[in-house]
Amino acid sequence: MPGVGIWRTKSVEQSIADTDEPGSRLRRELTAKDLTVFGVAVVVGAGIFTLTARTAGNLAGPSISLAFVLAAIACGLAALCYAEFASAVPVAGSAYTFSYATFGEFVAWIIGWDLILEFALASAVVAKGWSMYLGGMFGGDASIDLGPITVDWGSLLIVGAITIILAIGTKVSSRVSAVVTAIKVAVVLLVIVVGIFSIDKSNYSPYVPQAEEAESAASGLHQSLFSALTGAGGSTYGWYGLLAAASLVFFAFIGFDVVATTAEETKNPQKALPRGIFGSLAIVTVLYVGVTLVLTGMVKYTDLRTGSELVGDGSATLATAFEAHGITWAQMAINIGGLAGLTTVVMVMMLGQTRVLFAMSRDGLVTRKLAVTNHKGVPVRITLMVGGVVAVLAAVFPMGVLEEMVNIGTLFAFVLVCVGVMVLRRTRPDLPRGFRVPLVPLVPILAVLACGWLMLNLSVETWIRFTVWMVLGVAIYFVYGRRKSVLGQRLKLEAAQQEAAKHEAREPEPV
């Protein structure tokens, strides 16, 4: 029986039945191959060209490759839980839909509101990064001053183009994503192959450098929540540096959960979704480890740290190692790879945003006028609205200070999904599952602990901003969503019908 009030749950059967509602039906046309492409497309972004070198130089040294393996393990634990949920509840909305079936409407709203934050900000931040790469390729700045406002026209260009592609159809988006993903993976493989010939094995020693005290430790609101709670200081290199690096590079894997948002548009989702999730995760892990091994083998890790003679006051990038060996043409190749990488990240993040909002709209928690699809099964209204919001955010607002909010939103969703798997195992053991997480509850608990640790390493100010956003979401739910909920209205109608039936049964028959 569904709960009452804000804890009312939407059964899996009802969620699946709603996918056939006339006028708000998505078309099933994606395969496991399409989902794998989406996963690789969103995970392999600019991080592989910038994050790897900076983290190796400032935190982990050559052990950056092990940091990626540790991060991949943590991500893989969460991926197991996503795969089971997505195969059991093949409905648009990802963690939002999963939470509705396990924790109830209020928690589902919270996670949906959280995912709106994650996908919208991620799309805008990455669009600005795309614009920076565009300006770098042409030696200029992809922005223009309009009075007191500086408009980033590069961001408008990429968001506008992607909005049009998404409005045309998901299958078209998949084909475009496949082409662009092939380009950036080719660039990554080229970097690995060329770099192998410049590796000096002595650069790998020591693999885990001796710990050093950080020259400047963050304090106040800028320190991590873990440091604020325990008083622990930061350090560079050593095992603590390795673990800190794993916390940082974990975010290079963020995005695979977007694959789960396309469940409702997937052929044979029970098999295709797990294959797409694990396939994309395996591919990007191999690419990340390969790049880091080449990078730290080409130059000494101390040459990649900020302040070194090679890097100066800036941050090391993958191109830094190639420039040190006189392979200057690699800079252009890396720019092309970064541009291609960011293109697909924006595309898949915006796709995820539209599908989560579509699911919330169909449930009445936001206006149902948005849950309308065209003859191709595309929610055009939502797509255009999301494109407009992301374009404004990316073109006008500085997004650097909000990047960590993307991370905390993602990890929060991971935790709820992992807990949800354990809950659904107890409440619905009969539910058909195309994939089952092994060693339950051990694996989900380990996933929760891993994600919780990573959340503790985020700054205090990030937690404050996240809390403010969530408080705003709670207010909107009680003002609008709770009253307009389709599930709530359905339960009220059923209760009224049952009461009427009882009243009719109590009335004596006329003589």
What string of DSSP letters covers 213-259?
E-SS---GGGSBHHHHHH-PPPEESHHHHHHHHHHHHGGGSTTGGGG
- The pLDDT assigned to 54 comes to 85
Dihedral of the CA atoms 346, 351, 355, 356 (nearest 10)? Answer: -10
Token pair for residue 269? 């989702």
Higher pLDDT, 181 or 402: 181
Residue 202 has pLDDT above 90, yes or no: yes
Token pair for residue 290? 């390969």
Q: How far apart, in whole angstroms, are the C-alpha atoms of residue 91 and residue 359?
A: 8
Residue 301 has pLDDT above 90, yes or no: yes
pLDDT tier, 157 (very low <50, low <70, confident <90, very high otherwise) = very high
Q: How far apart, in whole angstroms, are the C-alpha atoms of residue 371 and residue 459?
A: 36
Residue 200, Ramachandran bin (φ over 0: left; ψ between -120 and 50: alpha; else beta): beta
Token pair for residue 416? 């709820």
- Please report where in the chains the tokens 């169909």 appear, as a residue: 362
Mean pLDDT of 111-124: 86
Q: How far apart, in whole angstroms, are the C-alpha atoms of residue 431 and residue 79?
A: 20
Does residue 441 have a cis bond before it (omega within 30 degrees)? yes
pTM over 0.75: yes
Q: How far apart, in whole angstroms, are the C-alpha atoms of residue 375 and residue 426?
A: 40
276 contacts 265 by C-beta, under 8 angstroms:
no
Which of 57, 70, 60, 78 is closest to 285 using CA atoms? 70
Q: Which amino acid is at 174?
A: S
Higher pLDDT, 504 or 354: 354
Token pair for residue 76? 């893989």
Mean pLDDT of 226-230: 72
How many C-beta neighbours within 10 Å does residue 398 have? 9
Mean pLDDT of 208-217: 69
Mean pLDDT of 210-225: 63
pLDDT tier, 1 (very low <50, low <70, confident <90, very high otherwise) = very low
Angle 64-88/403-427 helices, nearest 10 degrees? 50
Within 363-402, where are the H helices? 380-396
Mean pLDDT of 462-469: 88
- The pLDDT assigned to 215 comes to 53
- The pLDDT assigned to 364 comes to 92
**What rounded mean pLDDT belongs to the chain?**
83
Which of 303, 280, 359, 281 is closest to 91 using CA atoms? 359
Higher pLDDT, 28 or 493: 493
Residue 401 has pLDDT above 70, yes or no: no
pLDDT tier, 177 (very low <50, low <70, confident <90, very high otherwise) = confident
